[in-house]
Amino acid sequence: MNFKELIELDRNKKSTENRQYTFFEYLEIVRNDPEMCKLAHKRIYDIILKKGINEEEKKYNFFNNSFFGIDKTLVKIMNYFYSASMKGEESRQVLYLVGPVGSGKSSIIESIKRALEESEPVYSIKGCPMREEPLHLIPKHLRVDFERILGVKIEGELCPICRYRLKEEYNGEFEKFIVEKSNFSIRGRKGIGVVPPVDPNNQDASVLVGSVDISKMDLYPEDDPRIFSLNGAFNVGNRGVVEFIEVFKNDVEYLHSIITATQEKSIPSPGKAAMIYFDGVIIAHSNEAEWNKFKGDHTNEAILDRIVKVEVPYCLELKEEKRIYEKILGCSNFKPHIAPHTIDIAAMFAILTRLIPSTKVDLLTKLKIYNGEDVIEKGASKKIDVLELREEAGNREGMSGISTRFIIKAIDNAMCECRNGCINPLSIIESLIKAIKDLDISEEDRKKHLSLIQDVIRKEYNKILEKEITKAFIYGFKEGAEALFNNYLDNAEAFVNNDKIKDKATGETLEPDEKFMRNIEEQIGVSEASAKGFRNDLTSYMLYLLRKGEKIDYTCYEPLKEAIEKKLTFSAREVSRIITKSRIRNKEQNEKYNSMISQMKEHGYCLECCEALLNYAANNLWKD
C-alpha cells in the first residue's frame, strides 16, 4: 500500500464513521442495543472490564502492562466504578486519588483517558456543545412510554442551547433533530475535560462551566442561550471524564461547582439560565499534604462528603518495582548493556526506604517476604505471616520513601556516565549515593538512606556477587548439584523409612550415610537434633510433588537447594579467590579464569561488567 492509498483509506473510513442519523434511526439503534445510551461511569467500567479479569488474583487485564504492585488500589478503583455503574451512591461522588509523588496517580487517570479515546464513539445531538444524549429530546410526559419500548431509563435534560433550538428552529418537533456519532479526544476536548491548578487570585469559573460571549451581548438578551460559550471542563467532559490536577491547590470557592455536579448531576450555566445536566466521571488527585490541609478545615465538609478517597501508595514488591523500571527504560533511547541484578539493586533500595520497620524481622527480610520469597533459617523456611507484617505496619506503609522518578533519574545518570556501554550494580550504587547527597531532604533522612545503601544494599549485593562468581567457576554446577541432590534424597528416604540403600556401582546394600547427610545439613545450620525432622519434611514434600506430577530437581525444596549450593560454592571459594586476585596466572589458572568469564557471559554479563565486577570482588569480597 502506497501513501496515497493509505490516506484515502483513512479518509473513507472517517467518512463512513461521520455518517448522520435521523432521530427515528437512533431510536431503532437503542431498541436493538440499549447499551448505546449508557451513562459515563458504566461506559468506563465496561471499557476496563472488556479486557478481562483474573478472578483468582483479582487482577484486571486493562492495567496489567502499565501498573505494577498496586493491585489493591486498582481493585478499590474498580469497586468505585462498579458501584457507580450500578447507579449507587458512588455515581454521585468524586473519585479522589491521593498518594506520594510518582506513585502513579496521574498515570492511572491517563490510562482511563486513553481508553476513552480508543473506545466506540457515542451518539449525540448534532451541534450540541455538550454532545448530549439524543434521548434528552423526548419530553417528560412521553418518557415512560419510550422507556418501556426501548428498555432503558432516560436521565437528563436538554442543555439551554438545544432547548432554544428545539423551540425556535424546530418548533417543538424534536424528532427532526439530526443525530451524529462523536468520539472522545483529549486534544480535541471531546468528552475529556482537564482542570489544571489555577492561581487562587486569578480563578475564573468559566474554566469549569463556560462563559458568556461578550461580543454577542449587543445582539441578544443576557438570558438568551445564543450568547453562551459552553466550553468549560464540565461542558467538555460531559458523557466522559473530568480530571482535576492537584485539585486542592485551587481555592475552595472555585471547587463549589463540584457539589452540584456530583450530588445533583447538574452544573451552573454561565449566564442566568437554568442548571445544566451533567453526566461525567470526576476524578481528582493530589499529594497527601494537600489532602490533610484541606481535610483539616471543617468548612470543606460539603466537598469532603462527596469524595471517594483511594490511596495510591508506592509499590512494595521487588519483582513488580523492577517491572516499573523496565517499562520506563524500554521507552527511552538509552541502549547500554545492563548487568544482572542492576535493576534489582535499584528497586531494592527504593522499597527499603518505603517500608516501616517491624519488630518481627529486619527490613531486608521483610522486603523478601513481601516479594514472595522463602526466608531460610536453620534449614527450614521461616514461618512469618505476610498479613501480620502488613497489619503491624498499618495503612501508612508505602505512602512515603524514595519515588520511582528518583530511581529512574539515578539510572539515567549512571547510563550517561558509563564510558564502556555497560552499567552494573556498582555503578548504580554510586549513582544513588551521589543523587542522595544532592537531594533536598533533612540530614537525618540523608544519613538514613546512605546507611541503607552501605550497610544493607552493598552487603546484600556482595553476597549475591560472591554466589554468582563461585557458581560460574564451578564446572557443570547444575550437574554437580543434581548429583548431590539425588544422593542426599536416596540417603534421606532410606533413613526415614528405616531402610538401606543400594550402591549403584557395586550393587551392595548399605546403611544411610549419616556423615554425608550431616555434611550437607550443616551448611544451613540444621542441628543434629533437628536432622530427623528436616529429612522427614523433605521426603514428605517430595512425595507431595510426585502425586501432583511435578518435576523434581535440586531447586524444588528451597532449604536443600541452599544447602547444596553452599556446599558446592564453599569448595570453590578459595580457588576463585586465588584466580580473581592473581595478576599473573599460569596456564591452568588462565583456562579456569576464562571458563568462569564464559559462564558469566552465558548468564547475562558482558566482558566489561565481568572485569569490573571481578576486580571489585578481588578487592572487597576475599580480602586476606
pLDDT in tens, 115-143: 999 999 999 999 999 999 999 999 999 99
pLDDT in tens, 457-512: 999 999 999 888 888 887 667 788 888 999 999 999 999 999 988 877 677 888 99
pLDDT in tens, 505-524: 677 888 999 999 999 999 88
Residue 55 is predicted with a pLDDT of 82
Rounded to whole angstroms, the Cα distance separating 277 from 155 reads: 9
DSSP 214: G
Residue 331 is predicted with a pLDDT of 87
Rounded to whole angstroms, the Cα distance separating 459 from 450 reads: 13
Residue 532 is predicted with a pLDDT of 92
Residue 217 is predicted with a pLDDT of 82
Q: Fill in the amino acid letter for 76.
A: K
pLDDT in tens, 205-244: 888 999 988 888 888 888 788 899 999 999 999 999 999 9
DSSP 472: H
Fold of 19-311: Rossmann fold (3.40.50)
Q: Give the DSSP letter string of 528-559.
A: TTTHHHHHHHHHHHHHHHHHHT----TTSSHH
Grid cell in block for residue 558: 528451597
* H runs (alpha helix) in 210-274: 233-236, 257-263
Q: Exposure pattern of 83-95 as b/e (b: 16+ CB <10 Å)? A: bbbeeeebbbbbb
Domain with CATH 3.40.50.300 in the chain: 19-311
DSSP 179: E
* 366 closest CA partner among 350, 384, 391, 341: 384
Highest-confidence range of 298-302, 322-326, 474-478, 586-590, by mean pLDDT?
Answer: 322-326
- The CA-CA-CA angle for residues 616, 348, 358, to 5°, reads 125
What pTM does this model have? 0.85
* H runs (alpha helix) in 92-172: 105-118, 140-150, 160-168
* 388 closest CA partner among 373, 366, 368: 366
Residue 189 pLDDT > 70: yes
CB 99 within 8 A of CB 311: yes
DSSP 190: B
Which pLDDT band, with edges at 50, 70 and 90, does 574 fall under?
Answer: low
pLDDT in tens, 380-424: 556 788 899 999 998 889 999 999 999 999 999 999 988 778 999
Strand 266-267 and strand 276-277: the pairing is: antiparallel
Q: Give the DSSP letter string of 475-510.
A: TTHHHHHHHHHHHHHHHHHHHHTT--EE-TTT--EE
Residue 624 pLDDT > 60: no
pLDDT in tens, 579-604: 776 667 777 778 878 888 898 999 99
β-sheet bridge partners, residue 565? none
Helix (H, G, I), strand (E, B) or coil at 308: strand
Which pLDDT band, with edges at 50, 70 and 90, does 455 fall under?
Answer: very high
CB 489 within 8 A of CB 472: no
* 375 closest CA partner among 395, 360, 390: 360
Phi, psi of 311 (to 5 degrees): -80, 135
Rounded to whole angstroms, the Cα distance separating 175 from 167 reads: 12
508 Rama sector, left if φ>0, alpha if ψ -120 to 50, beta otherwise: beta
